[in-house]
């Protein structure tokens, strides 16, 4: 992917000839009229496609993904890939103005894989381990007939050295190709059923039917070195010391992973509601992790009412979505079955999505002939976890909005521009990790009468001006050629069974 920024070296020359005028405040009136990207209520692709009236109320779609569906084999020490079905999924999601959350999984109880030649097809509960590994005589899977009542399940052979090598190399190759891709907002990773760090109902055998703790440490440390632009997350169930080495390990807890909770808002989710295992898991892996890495998840499927009623403004099990989201600083939550209940109106889904994650307000704006200063406050419940920049006249601030905490504000200086004495240039917030032509909306109510905020440059600001970054929007999100359709999809009811389309779990 080509870089989207160029250096404005010629901007220094402006200083020699510019006639300076006094700093002045600028009026700016804005309302947030569309949902911010990379936050909110999440649907699976088929639900998002079918709920046409709700497409503007969400910005994210989630899909399970299969390593075997994109792996054709191995030549020498390199994995052979065919990403066409994955590309098809990303383009499908982007066509609705949404971004993807992807989770590659190995085990999925009772699920049958079809239309993926690199996988074991038409076998209930087959793993998503590529066939080239399964063909190795040293590789042996185990089987459970009905773990936890979820149906037949095969388990990857985590004693196999080729599988261990493959899983790390797969993410190396995936991140190299997709880390900067604006179609992907978040990546989730893990082991076990649905990659959620458990195999409940099956006897745990580390280094056999579940990755050993030593290998998990290697794998997580490896992932932490790969993703620079796309946040990655693991399940809160990784707090279970029986399964993982994470809880209590300062080195692993220091990694930059976020968390997802696959049974959010169930009846006894919090300690105050009953057993509180979910809240205890959040606590064990770090209550402040949300300050640097995203908190997300999925509304519980323990009871049908959990998905159907979590948007009830009066609350579910005594807790409203807004209260739960604020407590855990949630950026997103999968609520795919919400439209089957009575609360998922266009207005309510938008309201719930808007409440999640970050939200920006411009609280000050000043300019002079050569620079602009924009003060931004995060009025949301979590930071933005992607780089984004205040942009004026096509020039970006050097400083990113990434990580600005709720309730905090900061001033962003835009340099290397020329502004007329009576000019009031538009302010936008841009990012290379959002879709083409999209910007991040914000609110502002400035009449221009306030004292100019600090942060503007003067004739001595040569260093900052020379380093200004100019947005080259022509390179963002160029059309990708060579796509092929994902063929033979079987779509029973609302959930597709194709290689990259999720099905109802539990």
How confident is the model at residue 486, as a pLDDT? Answer: 25
How confident is the model at residue 191, as a pLDDT? Answer: 98
Closest by CA position to 381, among listed 361, 355, 404, 399: 355
- Tell me what the mean pLDDT of segment 437-448 comes to: 97
The b/e string for 288-314 (b: 16+ C-beta within 10 A; e otherwise) is ebbebbbbbbbbbbeeeebbbbbbeee
Where residue 282 falls (left for φ over 0; alpha for ψ -120 to 50; beta otherwise) is: alpha
Crossing angle of helices 213-226 and 161-178, rounded to 10°:
20
pTM of the model: 0.88
Q: 279: which 2 tokens?
A: 């809240």
pLDDT tens, 29-50? 999 999 999 999 999 999 999 9
Gap between the Cα atoms of 155 and 147, Å rounded: 11
Q: In the block, which residue shows the tokens 């082991």?
A: 191
For residue 490, name the pLDDT band (cuts at 50, 70, 90): very low
DSSP string, 34-96: SPPSS-EEEE-HHHHHH-GGGGGG--EEEEEE-HHHHEEEEETTEEEE--HHHHHHHHHHHTT
pLDDT tens, 287-337? 999 999 999 999 999 999 999 999 999 999 999 999 999 999 999 999 999
3-state secondary structure of 206: strand
3-state secondary structure of 104: strand
């Amino acid at each position: 992917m080509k870089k989207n920024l160029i250096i404005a070296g010629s901007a220094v020359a402006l200083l020699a000839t510019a006639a300076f005028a006094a700093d002045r405040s600028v009026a700016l009136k804005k309302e947030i009229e569309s949902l911010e990207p990379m936050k909110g209520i999440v649907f699976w692709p088929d639900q998002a496609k079918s709920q046409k009236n709700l497409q503007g109320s969400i910005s994210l779609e989630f899909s399970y993904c299969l390593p075997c569906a994109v792996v054709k084999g191995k030549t020498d020490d390199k994995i052979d890939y065919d990403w066409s079905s994955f590309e098809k999924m990303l383009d499908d999601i982007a066509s609705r103005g949404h971004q993807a959350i992807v989770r590659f999984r190995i085990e999925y109880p009772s699920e049958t894989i079809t239309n993926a030649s690199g996988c074991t097809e038409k076998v209930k509960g087959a793993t998503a381990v590529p066939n080239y590994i399964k063909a190795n005589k040293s590789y042996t899977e185990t089987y459970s007939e009905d773990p936890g009542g979820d149906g037949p399940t095969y388990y990857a052979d985590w004693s196999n050295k080729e599988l261990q090598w493959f899983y790390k190399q797969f993410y190396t190759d995936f991140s190299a190709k997709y880390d900067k891709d604006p179609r992907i907002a978040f990546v989730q990773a893990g082991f076990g059923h649905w990659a959620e760090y458990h195999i409940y109902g099956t006897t745990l055998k580390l280094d056999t039917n579940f990755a050993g703790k030593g290998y998990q440490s290697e794998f997580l440390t490896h992932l932490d070195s790969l993703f620079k632009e796309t946040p990655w997350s693991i399940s809160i169930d990784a707090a279970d010391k029986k399964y993982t080495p994470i809880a209590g390990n300062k080195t692993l807890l220091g990694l930059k992973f976020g968390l997802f909770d696959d049974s959010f808002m169930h009846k006894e989710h919090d300690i105050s509601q009953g057993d509180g295992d979910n809240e205890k898991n959040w606590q064990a892996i770090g209550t402040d992790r949300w300050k640097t890495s995203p908190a997300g998840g999925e509304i519980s499927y323990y009871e049908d009412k959990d998905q159907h009623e979590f948007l009830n403004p009066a609350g579910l099990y005594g807790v409203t979505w807004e209260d739960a989201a604020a407590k855990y600083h949630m950026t997103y939550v999968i609520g795919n079955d919400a439209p089957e209940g009575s609360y998922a109106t266009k207005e309510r889904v938008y309201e719930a999505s808007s409440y999640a994650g970050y939200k920006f307000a411009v609280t000050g704006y000043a300019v002079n002939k050569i620079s602009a200063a924009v003060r931004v406050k995060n009025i949301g419940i979590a930071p933005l976890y992607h780089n984004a920049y205040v942009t004026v006249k096509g020039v970006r601030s050097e400083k990113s909005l990434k990580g600005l905490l709720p309730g905090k504000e900061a001033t962003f200086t835009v340099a290397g521009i020329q502004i007329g004495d009576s000019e009031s240039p538009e302010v936008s917030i841009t990012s290379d990790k959002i879709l083409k032509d999209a910007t991040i909306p914000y609110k502002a109510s400035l009449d221009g009468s306030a004292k100019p905020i600090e942060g503007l440059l003067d004739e001595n600001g040569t260093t900052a001006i020379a380093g200004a970054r100019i947005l080259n929007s022509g390179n963002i999100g160029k059309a990708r050629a060579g796509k092929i359709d994902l063929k033979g999809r079987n779509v029973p009811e609302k959930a597709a069974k194709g290689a990259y389309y999720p099905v109802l779990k539990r």
